[in-house]
Chains A and B, each alone.
Chain A
Amino acid sequence: MNKLNFLQPDKNNLNTYLYTGVILVALSIFIVFLNSFFNKDIISFLPGSISFFLPLILGFIGLHLIRIDYSGLKFLDSINKNINTNNFNAFLSLLIVFVVIKSLPPILSWFILDANIAGDSKDVCTGSGACWTYIKIWFNRFMYGMYPNAEQWRINLSFIALAFLGTIGFFATEKFKKYLTLYYVVVYPVIAFFFIFFFISGGPIFFDFSYGIIAAVISIIIGFFIPPKFKMYYFIIVPITLYILLKYVFFYEELIELGKLEALEWVETGAWGGLSLTFIVSFFCLIFCFPIGLFLSLGRRSDFPIIKYFSIGMIEFWRGVPLITVLFMSSVMFPMFLPEDMFIDKLVRVIIAISLFEAAYVAEVIRGGLQALPRGQYDAAKSLGMGYWKMHILVILPQALKLVIPGIANTFLALVKDTPLIFVVGLLEIVGMLNLAKTNPEWLGFAMEGYVFASVLFFIICYAMSKYSYNLEQKYKTER
């Protein structure tokens, strides 16, 4: 038996040190646990300050005793390597464990144990915890805003359809893989636009939507019988002709006038709201701000002075003003400059404003990527006979964009979290609806639940986006 030296634990008396250390650490955690969960202070007989610090001291000594290098026990080694490398780290680790144990009971009791979810009025919320009944009752409003209850299936249907269409990429066969980019960049946004502005918005304009769909379906079916040589012209001319025929010759006027065909009820964009509006605004702003930003970043590096200074002006202007003023301008000032009879929907104006605003940030992020590329890449592309666009599309942008995926994800996350600001123009997405609901006289005093609810939703959205961006990064990693 070797001599025990408690100041310097070593491998020779491994078990002695290990048992003593583990018992001390377990004891310290046990004390805090009892105190926190059962409100029992088993060391209260000690003087105040000592009883407060005792768990820390015990745990600290315990961790010191089990800090044995190369003990041969895998678990012990990994603990030592990760949370117990030296005295300071041991202290921090203990502190974190204690804080977690201390804060668990109040959190648990607020979220679950003392919370109420049953019932459908404020009266059931008697406990000291959260009142989830409030969320339950207002859930519809938080999701759909002021959108009429009877029509909410339209939003659901649209989102389900769009989600389904969005996953097509996973199921595409090899043959269609090369069209995927085209699909996601051009076709999908257009479909989404049709769904949202014709289907969700409804009204007589819905007929345009259905005529568009009918024209597209008919022309695709006939398209199979057209020789490939004429396909290009065919697909440019026929769908549009069909659409115009349907709209102005066959149905439109009479059917509406006769009242034989009932249109979807018109829901003005002011009534849209809740989480669905968050999605709509974020989605379109993301789609629009990226290409605008891309062109601004290229423009800023252009050799043509007009394009260059226009781009610089745009970027610096939109970066230089607060989003809240931009939104305010778009809704209050902008219409004053329009002709009397011209009307642009408030939501459209807001989406344009946010897109331009975020495009300036995206532009600068992408410019960073463009500048990181070595000049040799430009030289090589030029020496192979590529012009400006071929060089950028085939060689420069694929590399530059890959470099800036984290930066773009950053901007996009900021964009999603900026959407609540549209309350300044009277559009109430989820946070706006919360603010509205919390001032309802029947439901005063539940702001906390609402904000927690919104935080959780935003966290889920943003975390998914950040995970996705990380996946993209891994997917396009070709170096080494």
Chain B
Amino acid sequence: MSDKIIQITEMNKWFGDFQVLKNINLEVEKNKKIVVCGPSGSGKSTLIRCINRLEEHQQGSIIVDGNELTEDTKDIEKIRAEVGMVFQQFNLFPHLSILDNCTLAPIWVKKMPKKDAEELALQHLEKVQIADQASKYPGQLSGGQQQRCAIARALCMEPKIMLFDEPTSALDPEMIKEVLDAMVNLAKAGMTMIVVTHEMGFAKEVADEVIFMDEGMIVERAETKEFFANPKSDRTKLFLSQIL
């Protein structure tokens, strides 16, 4: 077994008649940080939602940490527990306090004793610097704080892979930085990360590789420096010239 933690081969996905993902081949090694970028509607979010099987693919195979994602959903919860996900709209549970948001899954899914779960949650909240807000409800926090809580909540499951689905797109410019800082720290700690984002600064700072997608296909995949210094395809050049 190589240290390839995600292997996607020949994957196709349709929404009705519309093909969103075309012939995706992607391998991700352990501890690599990968940034996925591209214009909206290019299938970036769908791709990482497929890795978590929040969307089902119709053709090809996705292997996450040695388990293939198939129709047989018996193990899917186990796989999901090992893959953390952070969403654009935070998706915190509004009826629970910040601390309970973080301890809910460890207690009920991983059967962790409540005390241990709370300790763990406070550790992670400390890392994203909102431990002092632990007893508040999500509605009382700013967007940036909510997103950092969402990161902490995902980390509390101690995942092997973290997926970020445009984590800063719904935030004020001022709050983007605090979330990115939390993500940079996480990257430095050696987490395997796949990040869909438009923050090219973040990509330059932490990504090992950048993937550019357009119209459901992976147009270009390159080392970060290479990607920004001399992009090969014209479509990538056009995109970069507009976004930078």
Contact = CB atoms under 8 A, between A and B. Distances in A.
Contacts of A479: 94, 137, 139
A200 to B, nearest CB: 39
Contact of B52 (A374, A383, A395, A480): A383
Contacts of B84: 383
A480 B136 CA distance: 10
Contacts of B109: 384-386, 390
A465 to B, nearest CB: 23
Interface string B90-134: 011111000000001100111000000000000000000000000
B85 interface: yes
B93 A382 contact: no
Interface residues of B, number: 30
Interface string B152-164: 0110010000000
Given A398-B95, A479-B139, A383 B89 contact: no
B57 to A, nearest CB: 16
B80 interface: yes
A39 interface: no
Interface in B19-69: 49, 52, 54
Contacts of A394: 104, 108
Contacts of A386: 77, 105, 108-109
Interface of chain A, main secondary structure: helix
Interface in A53-76: none
Interface residues of A, number: 22
B78 interface: yes
A380 to B, nearest CB: 4
A377 B91 contact: yes
Contacts of B87: 376, 379-380
A383 B137 contact: no
B138 to A, nearest CB: 8
B140 interface: yes
A382 B85 CA distance: 10
A385 B81 contact: yes
Contacts of A197: none
Given A380-B87, A395-B93, A385 B139 contact: no
Contact of A478 (B89, B94, B154): B94
A417 interface: no
A346 interface: no
B137 A478 contact: yes
A30 interface: no
B105 A376 contact: no
B83 interface: yes
A158 interface: no
A184 interface: no
Given A395-B93, A402-B95, A478-B95, A382 B108 contact: no
A374 B150 CA distance: 16
Contacts of A385: 77-78, 80-82, 105, 109-110, 157
Tell which of A383, A385, A476, A478 has the most Cβ of chain B within 10 Å. Answer: A383
A382 B89 contact: no
A382 B95 contact: no
Interface in A424-480: 476, 478-480
A392 to B, nearest CB: 12
B140 A480 contact: yes
A47 interface: no
A394 B105 CA distance: 9
Tell which of A381, A390, A394 has the most Cβ of chain B within 10 Å. Answer: A394
Contacts of A384: 80-81, 104-105, 109, 153-154, 157
Given A385-B78, A390-B109, A479-B139, A376 B94 contact: no
B95 A376 contact: no
Interface of B: 49, 52, 54, 77-78, 80-85, 87, 89, 91-95, 104-105, 108-110, 137, 139-140, 150, 153-154, 157
9 contacts: A380-B85, A380-B91, A383-B83, A383-B84, A384-B81, A398-B95, A399-B95, A402-B95, A478-B137
Given A385-B77, A386-B105, 14 more contacts: A376-B91, A381-B93, A382-B80, A384-B81, A384-B154, A384-B157, A385-B81, A386-B108, A390-B109, A395-B93, A399-B93, A402-B95, A478-B95, A480-B140
Leading 7 A-B pairs by shortest Cβ distance: A385-B81, A380-B91, A384-B105, A376-B91, A383-B85, A479-B139, A385-B80
